[in-house]
Amino acid sequence: MMFAKHPETLLIPHLCGELEGAERARVAAHLEGCDRCRSECDTLSATIGTLRQKIADLPMPDAAGYRAELRRKMASRQERKRSWWRPTLIAASFATAGVAVVIMIGWFSLHRGPNVDQLALADADLGMLRAYPVVEKMDLLENYDVIEHLDDLNAPPTDTTDARHS
């Protein structure tokens, strides 16, 4: 049985001997009748052979040298952990403390409580707070002038002709 499409994804598993039974036979039968797939299979086979040769030519890593380098790096890291009293740590601690003091001073200066003008303004806005259910449903809260003068707006005229024909 031939494939409806070319078995491109099965060519490498076929070359590596990873296909079994009926699937291997189907790919082999397709390769016998399809010049395109057979050419691609030959190219892939040559590429796999080149890769295998390159891998075989790679030098074996020196395990003893690797272990010695690893031990040296671990000892260096342990030594750095023991020396926690360093000038950079002290400078960073003082810098952090200074930033914390500046933030606290700024916070206390901004949050001293309301002044007399703020209290007078709060008393003036109580009218809006009484109508809060209306105000909270408005989309244009940032346009305070419109909200403040809503009572001054005239109601739109109603069209009486539509009411009669309904």
| 10-59 pLDDT, tens digit each | 888 998 889 999 999 999 999 998 999 999 999 999 999 998 898 888 88
Across the range 139-159, mean pLDDT stands at 63
> What number of CA atoms fall less than 13 Å from residue 121's CA on the CB side?
5
Across the range 85-93, mean pLDDT stands at 72
Q: Which two tokens stand for residue 131?
A: 């109508």
pLDDT confidence tier of residue 138, bands split at 50, 70 and 90: low
Domain boundary among 57, 79, 98: 57
Q: Look up the pTM and report it.
A: 0.36
Amino acid at site 52: R
Per-residue model confidence (pLDDT) at position 121:
55
The reply to whether 135 falls in a domain is yes
The reply to whether 161 falls in a domain is no
The reply to whether 25 falls in a domain is yes
Domain span at residue 128? 116-152
The reply to whether 164 falls in a domain is no
C-alpha span between 81 and 76 (Å, rounded): 9
The reply to whether 86 falls in a domain is no
The reply to whether 80 falls in a domain is no
C-alpha span between 134 and 131 (Å, rounded): 6
Quote the mean pLDDT of the chain: 76
Per-residue model confidence (pLDDT) at position 115:
58
C-alpha span between 38 and 158 (Å, rounded): 84
The reply to whether 131 falls in a domain is yes
Per-residue model confidence (pLDDT) at position 43:
92
Per-residue model confidence (pLDDT) at position 83:
59
The reply to whether 35 falls in a domain is yes
Answer with the residue of higher pLDDT: 156 or 61. Answer: 61
How many domains does the chain contain in total?
2
Per-residue model confidence (pLDDT) at position 117:
56
pLDDT confidence tier of residue 156, bands split at 50, 70 and 90: low
Angle between helices 21-33 and 35-57 in degrees, nearest 10: 110
